[in-house]
Structure formats: structure tokens, C-alpha cells
């Protein structure tokens, strides 16, 4: 490009190079420069199709990012609309299913959240965050046995994650296992001494035992 900046073949190959690297901005830049320079009808037709695909993917990426922003800012309904539109075109993107589950869980729509997180785990990696979110839904749906298995699976991946340990403590409380719950929350405080959730639950457990 430095030697021959107006060489259509160089721009054509550079565009494909960036396309393989998932750099749509640079790929589009070189394809558009190729279109301005080239009279090759067959190649131009192929490039036009690729530019359309790049534009479509950019719009989908924007939908994904908008969905994340809406959910993070507490506008879950809008986020669900955006990520559902994304999933219509990209149903095999696991983290889109995670976003959908996250939004439903934040709206206390635990069954829908459970289904979305399970789909994310079917097609994607077993991330501890996905497992933990699924466990929260299972806990609220009172599916305690499956919740325990899910949290234990998450702990194998990330054994010092205080959110997972806290949720296991809450599960123990739901099942009236005060000693086990207390052990969980004390473990949380060992890892995060100022954790207010663990402190509050330990005070609650002490009150239940009549020691306060």
C-alpha cells in the first residue's frame, strides 16, 4: 500500500485480510477503496455482497451492545427486545442467551431466565457467571437439588468466588441448614471481610439460634 496506494488488487487482498481478523471497519475501508478503483464486474459483485454482510453484522453488533447497555442501566424490557432481535439472526451466540437470561432474572422472571441460561450453557462454555445466574433462578424456583449441583459445578471452576459461596449459603438457609449456611458466610468473610451480605446473614443465623 505504501508503494502503490491506488492498486485495486492490494486493497482487495487487504480487505479480505482484515475480514478474516474480524476487523469490519478496516475491511470495509479497503473494499470501498477497491470499488472506487476497480472495473472488474465479477469481483465488484462479490464485494458488494460482502459489504452488505459487513453492514448487517455491524447492525447486529450494535443491537448486542445496546441490549447490554439497556440491561446494565436497569431498562431490562428494552434490553430484552434488543437481544431477542439479535438472537433471531444469531441464535447460536451463547453470550446473547446469557444477556437474555440476565435481563429476565433481574425482572424476577426466573423461569424464562433459567431457560436462557440453560441454552447459553448448551451452546457455549461453562462459565462460572452463567452457572451462578442459573443457580439464582433455580433457587427462586425452589428447585433446590438442581441449584446445589449448579453451584457446586460453579465452585469447581472458581472456588473463591464470594457470590457463588454466598448463594450456596442462602440455599443452605432455604433448606434450614443453619450450620452449613453459617460456614458458607464465614468463608465469604475470610475472602471479603467487609462483605455486608455475609455479615447480615450471620447476624440472622445468630438470631435464629437465639444467641443475639
pLDDT of residue 52: 79
User: If you average pLDDT over every residue of the chain, what do you get?
Assistant: 90
Residue 212 banded pLDDT, cuts 50, 70, 90: very low
CA angle at 174 for the pair 168 and 180, rounded to the nearest 5° = 50
Q: Residue 166's closest CA among 141, 143, 199?
A: 199
Dump pLDDT digits (tens) for 28-75: 888 888 888 888 888 888 888 887 777 666 666 777 888 889 998 999
> Does position 211 have pLDDT exceeding 60, yes or no?
no
Burial annotation 27-47 (CB, 10 A radius, 16+ → b, else e)? bbebbebbbeeeeeeeeeeeb
pLDDT at residue 181 above 70?
A: yes
* pLDDT at residue number 115: 97
List Cα–Cα distances, 159 to 116, 152, 162, 164, 184, in angstroms: 24, 9, 9, 8, 12
Q: What is the DSSP string of 143-154?
A: -HHHHHHHHHHH
Tell me the average pLDDT across 184-201: 94
| pLDDT on residue 210 | 72
Residues 111/141, Cβ–Cβ less than 8 Å: yes
- Cβ contact 153:117 at 8 Å: no
Q: What pLDDT does 101 receive?
A: 96
Q: Provide the pLDDT for residue 198.
A: 94
**pLDDT at 135 exceeding the cut of 60:** yes
At 189 the pLDDT is 95
Residue with cell 433481574: 106
Which band of pLDDT confidence, cut at 50, 70 and 90, is reported for residue 208?
confident
pLDDT in the model for residue 56 = 65
Distance CA 63, CA 84 (A): 9
| Number of Cβ within a 10 Å radius of residue 111 | 11
The Cβ of residue 183 has, within 10 Å, a number of other Cβ atoms equal to 15
pLDDT > 70 fraction of the chain, expressed in percent and rounded: 96
> Mean pLDDT, to the nearest integer, of 145-154?
97
Alpha helices per DSSP H over the chain:
8-20, 24-37, 41-72, 76-89, 94-106, 110-123, 128-140, 144-157, 162-174, 178-191, 196-209
The torsion region of residue 4 among left (phi > 0), alpha (psi -120 to 50) and beta comes to beta
pLDDT recorded at residue 40: 87
Amino acid at each position: 500500500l505504501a508503494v502503490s496506494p491506488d492498486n485495486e488488487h492490494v486493497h482487495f487482498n487487504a480487505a479480505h485480510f482484515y475480514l478474516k481478523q474480524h476487523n469490519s471497519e478496516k475491511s470495509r475501508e479497503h473494499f470501498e477503496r477497491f470499488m472506487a478503483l476497480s472495473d472488474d464486474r465479477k469481483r465488484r459483485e462479490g464485494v458488494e455482497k460482502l459489504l452488505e454482510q459487513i453492514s448487517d453484522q455491524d447492525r447486529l453488533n450494535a443491537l448486542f451492545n445496546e441490549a447490554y447497555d439497556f440491561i446494565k442501566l436497569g431498562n431490562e424490557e428494552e434490553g430484552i427486545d434488543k437481544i431477542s432481535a439479535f438472537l433471531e439472526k444469531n441464535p447460536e451466540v451463547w453470550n446473547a442467551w446469557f444477556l437474555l437470561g440476565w435481563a429476565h432474572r433481574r425482572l424476577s422472571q426466573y423461569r424464562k431466565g433459567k431457560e436462557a441460561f440453560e441454552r447459553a450453557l448448551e451452546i457455549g462454555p461453562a462459565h462460572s457467571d452463567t452457572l451462578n445466574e442459573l443457580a439464582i433462578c433455580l433457587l427462586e424456583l425452589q428447585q433446590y437439588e438442581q441449584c446445589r449441583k449448579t453451584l457446586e459445578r460453579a465452585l469447581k471452576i472458581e472456588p473463591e468466588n464470594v457470590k457463588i459461596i454466598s448463594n450456596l449459603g442462602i440455599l443452605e438457609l432455604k433448606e434450614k441448614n443453619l450450620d452449613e449456611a453459617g460456614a458458607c458466610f464465614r468463608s465469604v468473610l475470610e475472602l471479603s471481610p467487609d462483605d455486608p451480605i455475609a455479615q447480615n446473614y450471620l447476624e440472622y443465623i445468630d438470631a435464629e439460634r437465639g444467641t443475639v
